Structure 1
């Protein structure tokens, strides 16, 4: 019997994506471009005949998932563990503002150090652990031969999937950033979950991500 398939789908564009601002868990909606991206991607994902749809409860992901739900007639299950990383007080800051204000933290990140975002936010390791839990709960919603789509966020996707497939943290950055409304397909292999498609669906759209 064919095993279950997991499709993890990044949300459409927001105004903060376009402006290069850290979003974290700030609840920013899709902009008009993001809505059109979600509609176009949903039409393609509907062809996979998903049996379940799961989403972060943040509205940029929820709005994206709603486009697929509209086409498939499925209800969306919301999972807070699929939220983006909590960036604390850095929310709304542009990457350039961050580099100017916090050159020491930028240097630590460039050196590969994991650090708590915004003073009271999360580390990437904490994000990866909870995002993997959310993805595994999504998988549990479907049976062998079925597909589940999980609407998520750029960094949460990247590190949650990395943990799901057993990739050590030192290699997480080998996985490139994800374009708005692109998706990743994972399927079980002989030794656990594996990635069979990465950044699928919308290339060559630019990557507008706050996952650095």
Structure 2
């Protein structure tokens, strides 16, 4: 399946990222380093924004804060399909908490994408993948997306034709821009 060109920005580091605490769809503000990540993205994405692509962002605060900085006032549409995976009872816990309280789930899912999607009461992988694909299929032209790490792994994996295990192994850089086009990704840093 072909999709329009996508420039994907993961939000900058948050207080909970720094604590290795699972955010899911809960809120945590950007750290000073996270603000610097968004400023770095602003420099990388500026030439793209001059072409006036469609811009979308997750409704979650960390992505909105990143979009405000990185897009430098360019208008963007908030789309609920771009929210991070809902991680059920894991939201608000540290990865260490999950390892202690849910040792079997933690042990069987060493990568965050799999772990978050196996959370009791969570969204699950099929639903998460489905809403991301639905968003991507609705795109009509080159698009800038400001969203989240796990969402980005799935979106990048869809573009690159990767199976779930390879999606889960993708790096989750902050302060960079992933350029997704013609079945491949490149990274602007």
TM exceeds 0.5?
A: yes
Query: Would you say the 8 A contact 2:116–2:122 is kept in 1?
Result: no
User: 1:85-106: per-residue Cα shift (whole Å, max 9, x none)?
Assistant: 1011211111111111111111
Worse overlay, 47-56 or 6-15:
47-56
User: 1:125-161: per-residue Cα shift (whole Å, max 9, x none)?
Assistant: 3212212222333x32x3xxxx421001001110122
Q: In 1, distance between residues paired with 2:116 and 2:143?
A: 32
Q: In 2, distance between residues paired with 1:61 and 1:115?
A: 19
Q: 1:92 to 1:47 in 2, by over 3 A?
A: same
Q: 2:172 aligns with which of 167, 172, 178?
A: 178
Query: Would you say the 8 A contact 1:10–1:154 is kept in 2?
Result: yes
Is residue 96 of structure 2 the alignment partner of residue 96 of structure 1?
A: yes
Q: Which residue of 1 aligns with 2:158?
A: 163
Q: TM-score, normalised by structure 1?
A: 0.77
Query: Would you say the 8 A contact 1:54–1:151 is kept in 2?
Result: yes
Is residue 148 of structure 2 the alignment partner of residue 153 of structure 1?
A: yes
SS of 1:180's equivalent in the other structure is: coil
Q: Which residue of 2 aligns with 1:29?
A: 29
Is residue 45 of structure 2 the alignment partner of residue 45 of structure 1?
A: yes
Q: Which residue of 1 aligns with 2:6?
A: 6
Q: 1:29 to 1:114 in 2, by over 3 A?
A: closer
Q: Which residue of 2 aligns with 1:134?
A: 135
| 1:114 Cα deviation from its structure 2 partner | 7.3
Number of equivalenced pairs: 184
Q: 1:184 to 1:136 in 2, by over 3 A?
A: farther
SS of 1:65's equivalent in the other structure is: helix
SS of 2:56's equivalent in the other structure is: strand
Task: Let me know the Cα RMSD of the aligned residues.
Answer: 2.4
| 1:27 Cα deviation from its structure 2 partner | 2.0
Query: Would you say the 8 A contact 1:19–1:94 is kept in 2?
Result: yes
Q: In 2, distance between residues paired with 1:74 and 1:125?
A: 33
Q: In 1, distance between residues paired with 2:92 and 2:154?
A: 22
SS of 2:71's equivalent in the other structure is: helix
| 1:24 Cα deviation from its structure 2 partner | 0.2
The 4+ residue runs of structure 1 with deviation greater than 6 A are 111-115
Q: Which stretches in structure 2 are left out of the alignment for 5+ residues? A: none
Q: Which residue of 2 aligns with 1:64?
A: 66
| 1:183 Cα deviation from its structure 2 partner | 2.4
Q: In 2, distance between residues paired with 1:129 and 1:101?
A: 29
Is residue 111 of structure 2 the alignment partner of residue 108 of structure 1?
A: no
Q: Which residue of 2 aligns with 1:124?
A: 125
Q: In 1, distance between residues paired with 2:10 and 2:105?
A: 27
| 1:8 Cα deviation from its structure 2 partner | 0.9
| 1:170 Cα deviation from its structure 2 partner | 4.0
